[in-house]
Amino acid sequence: MKIQKKKDLLIEPLVVLNIGLESFAKDLEQQGVKVLHIDWSPPAGGDPELVNLLSKLGS
């Protein structure tokens, strides 16, 4: 299989979006890597019924 990448991960400089543990983003920042940390929180505050609905109707 021939892989044609729109963005070749191993050639271009890494530009990272971090979702979850903020320490990962801080470590990358420390190394001068372009990283944006997302202020994520569980959908619908974690309410299982709504989380389920959102995953079905998902955006």
- Which residues in this chain contact other proteins in the complex, by CB under 8 A? 1, 3-7, 9-10, 12-21, 23-24, 27-28, 31, 33-34, 36-45, 50-51, 53-59
Q: Nearest distance from residue 52's CB to other proteins, in Å?
A: 9
Q: Are 36 and 18 in contact (CB under 8 A)?
A: yes
**In the complex, minimum distance from the CB of residue 18 to other proteins, in angstroms, rounded to a whole number:** 5
Least distance to other proteins, CB of residue 30, Å: 8
Q: What is the DSSP letter of 13?
A: P
**Cβ-count burial of 9 within 10 angstroms (0-12 exposed, 13-18 middle, 19+ buried)?**
exposed
